[in-house]
């Protein structure tokens, strides 16, 4: 009997330790981690610099509450402002909470404009989290149907369809557009930089907030700090989490000053948000990304994508291989039963499958060229073996 609620279905592997891009189970079998905790451990496992920061902070204090000041939340907010161009930050514990904050901001923004029932345009196939507000902005029926009635005020449109958003120009209740510029849970659906540029122009013209959820695709994953920077735009609101703490829970909602003032004292909060341990580690994560890893992500991503496309093109059951940086999808024509189990047991690979037939790769950004080549070869072997076993 397990004392855990059965909300997850993990593989029957119990890990004992990790180092870099590898994890070891209780039998000391080594696995190459190509999913990094679903995009969380950007710097891999047991990074010595992260360990140093955790130990150092644990020797002073781990928690103070938001009744008192400490240096690390201010330093981290300043660092994020330098990176993003957004100068007001609210810290929380997860991406879901960051998106809840964004939704609250959009509604406050609408109320200040005299709009009683503000609407937010959101995307089909979106995933913004599982708390009630974020779930209401999430399009997946399997996640939604058990928890109705959900919040109203969300208008769903097709992803990457500017005309569908333009159709709301005469709706006086629309206040914001919320989207993932690369939909991760949906299978690495990539918005073009041209689309993002045009969407920003439209939002500015309509006085709508452009709110980008880069919880999965941000923080260097696509080869720049954030994917929106490749479109040379800046959103009004940005939500981030996952890799920010390299495994420690931390999220953030960032805005321009014109919005940051909306959340005055008492209107919003988080007991653990902005705690010194998470903020100190996150500051070091950003420093390491900036000085050691970010500049090589694009080249690594091109290398992995090129290897996968050359090896898998023409292989049975492959529909497409796509990606940006080290966020890559291999879409299958037909699902393969127990694919992640076969990958771990027979090929020593940790993979993720989303939407039933899309292999999603989110490897640590520290992965070496040799590890990338090994990963591509093992995936080729895995998919070829699955094809042969089906014949």
Q: Catalytic residue numbers? A: 127, 213, 242
E strands along the chain, which residues?
A: 15-19, 22-25, 30-33, 88-92, 119-123, 154-157, 174-179, 182-183, 189-190, 209-213, 237-240, 251-255, 318-324, 327-332, 349-350, 352-354, 358-361
Q: Would you mind telling me the total number of residues written for the chain in this entry? A: 391
Q: Residue 327: name the closest of 185, 193, 198, 196 by CA.
A: 185
Beta-bridged to residue 327, according to DSSP, are: 324
Q: Report, in angstroms and rounded to the nearest whole number, the Rg of the chain calculated over CA atoms.
A: 21
| 332: CB partners within 8 A, 6+ apart | 317, 318, 319, 357, 358, 359
- What's the Cα-to-Cα distance from 363 to each of 183, 288, 300, 325, rounded to whole Å? 17, 17, 11, 10
| Integer Cα distance of 327 and 343 in angstroms | 19
| Integer Cα distance of 391 and 387 in angstroms | 7
């Amino acid at each position: 009997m397990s004392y855990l609620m059965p909300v997850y279905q993990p593989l029957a592997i119990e890990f004992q330790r990790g180092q870099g891009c590898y994890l070891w189970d209780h039998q000391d079998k080594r696995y190459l981690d190509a999913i990094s905790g679903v995009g969380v451990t950007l710097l891999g496992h047991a990074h010595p610099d992260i360990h140093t920061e955790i130990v150092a902070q644990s020797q002073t204090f781990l928690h103070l509450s938001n009744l008192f000041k400490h240096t690390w939340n201010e330093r981290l907010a300043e660092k994020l402002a330098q990176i993003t161009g957004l100068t007001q930050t609210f810290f929380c514990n997860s991406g879901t909470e960051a998106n809840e904050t964004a939704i609250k901001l959009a509604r406050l923004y609408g109320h200040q404009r005299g709009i009683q029932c503000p609407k937010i345009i959101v995307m089909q196939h979106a995933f913004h989290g599982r708390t009630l507000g974020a779930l209401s902005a999430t399009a997946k029926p399997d996640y939604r149907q058990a928890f109705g009635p959900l919040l109203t005020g969300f208008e769903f449109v097709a992803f990457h369809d500017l005309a569908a958003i333009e159709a709301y120009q005469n709706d006086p209740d629309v206040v914001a557009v919320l989207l993932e510029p690369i939909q991760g849970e949906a299978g690495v659906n990539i918005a073009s930089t041209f689309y993002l540029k045009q969407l920003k122009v439209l939002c500015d013209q309509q006085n709508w907030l452009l709110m980008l959820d880069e919880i999965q695709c941000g923080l260097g994953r696509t080869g720049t700090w954030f994917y929106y920077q490749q479109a040379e735009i800046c959103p009004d609101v940005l939500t981030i989490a996952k890799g920010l703490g390299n495994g420690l829970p931390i999220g953030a909602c960032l805005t321009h000053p014109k919005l940051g003032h909306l959340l005055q004292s008492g209107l919003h909060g988080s007991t653990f948000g902005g705690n010194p341990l998470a903020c100190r580690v996150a500051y070091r994560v950003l420093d390491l990304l900036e000085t050691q890893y970010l500049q090589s992500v694009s080249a690594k991503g091109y290398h992995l994508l090129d290897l996968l496309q050359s090896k898998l093109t023409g292989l049975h059951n492959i529909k497409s291989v796509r990606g940006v940086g080290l966020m890559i999808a291999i879409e299958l024509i037909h699902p393969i039963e127990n694919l992640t189990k076969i990958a771990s047991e027979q090929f020593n690979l940790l993979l993720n499958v989303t939407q039933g037939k899309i292999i999603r790769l989110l490897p640590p950004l520290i992965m070496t060229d040799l590890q990338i080549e090994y990963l591509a070869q093992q995936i080729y072997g895995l998919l070829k073996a699955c094809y042969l076993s089906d014949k």
